[in-house]
Amino acid sequence: MQPSEDESSRILFALVNAAAGSYRHYQVTFWGQLILGLLYSFGYFDSRIAGFVLGFVMPVFWITLTYRYVFVKAKENIRLPFPKWMQKNPGNTLVIVVDTVFLALIWTMVLSGLYDARWVKILFTVIFPILTLSMLRNLIIYPFSDKEEENEQEDGQNNDGES
């Protein structure tokens, strides 16, 4: 049994709020990812499980939350700073899948020992996840405006100019 669309949205918003819904939540998540990512990258705990969680699971989690948040907000007719194709399916899902596959390829090489450069670990356990988390936080605080209000304002300006 699949959850309803409304239930999925509630779960999404609960996860978004827990991760970056308030400045305090965002700071805890930000510093946790930064500190743990750096500790892993510099070999303070060299565990494949830690690398997998910090470099693959968490970034995929932030990516999924960010782009699904965009998808849900776009369905509510809220103007977003994203291309239209990313605001609806299949584009939204495609971005998530492509990012996930890319991360899976990188972490397969890193965790298998094929490529073990420190800068790659820092990039994918610290920089990429923090950028994605920050993008999610910025979407939450972004001054959204309804498309309908914007259209009404444009119509009002056009009518004033024609008099």
Give the tens place of pLDDT for each residue, 73-122: 888 888 888 889 988 999 999 999 999 999 999 999 988 888 878 888 89
Confidence of residue 163 (pLDDT cuts 50, 70, 90): very low
Query: Is residue 152 predicted with pLDDT exceeding 70?
Result: no
User: Would you call 21 helix, strand, or coil by DSSP?
Assistant: coil
Residues 6+ apart with CB under 8 A from 17: 25
pLDDT of 38 reads: 95
Average pLDDT over residues 6-32: 92
Q: Which pLDDT belongs to residue 112?
A: 87
How far from 14 is each of 10, 33, 45, 76, 131, CA to CA, in Å? 6, 19, 31, 17, 20
**Percent of the chain, pLDDT > 90?**
56
At 20-74, the pLDDT tens digits run 999 999 999 999 999 999 999 998 987 889 989 999 999 999 999 999 999 998 8
- Residue 142, H or E segment: none
pTM of the predicted protein model: 0.79
